[in-house]
């Protein structure tokens, strides 16, 4: 059996771009902001499953696309919505 490595396995500070990495896994209801060491500096709990888009806004809020349950569209797509999560993880929504 082969084990998968998880987390940060290598970092070269001389070649890395300064700043943070926004990570939003497709199969978890979270979004994480990671530092250069791979440590979580902030985490958002998401109310729905994430879709294929997330962005950190200048004010620190997270703008993320969410998939809706059982909302198939006639052209083989899946419906969703865009939500803004405050830095405190309190939900701000426009539907």
CB 35 within 8 A of CB 55: no
- pLDDT single digits (tens) 13-60: 889 888 889 988 878 888 988 888 888 888 998 888 888 889 999 888
Q: Which of the residue ranges 8-12, 53-57, 87-91 would you say has the lowest mean pLDDT? A: 87-91
pLDDT at residue 55, rounded to an integer:
92
pLDDT at residue 67, rounded to an integer:
80
Model confidence at 6: pLDDT above 70: no
Model confidence at 92: pLDDT above 60: no
In degrees rounded to 5, what are phi and psi of residue 23? -125, 125
Q: pTM of the prediction?
A: 0.70
pLDDT at residue 72, rounded to an integer:
62
CA 71 to chain centre: 21
HEC assignment per residue over 13-63: CCCCCCCCEEECCCCCCEEEEECCCCCEEEEEECCCCEEEEEEECCCCCEE
């Amino acid at each position: 059996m082969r084990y998968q490595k998880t987390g940060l396995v290598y970092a070269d500070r001389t070649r890395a771009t300064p700043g943070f990495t926004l990570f939003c896994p497709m199969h978890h209801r979270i979004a994480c902001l990671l530092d250069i060491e791979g440590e979580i500096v902030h985490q958002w709990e998401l109310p729905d499953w994430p879709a294929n888009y997330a962005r950190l806004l200048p004010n620190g809020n997270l703008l993320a696309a969410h998939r809706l349950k059982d909302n198939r569209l006639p052209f083989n797509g899946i419906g969703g919505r865009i939500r803004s999560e405050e830095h405190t993880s309190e939900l701000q929504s426009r539907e």
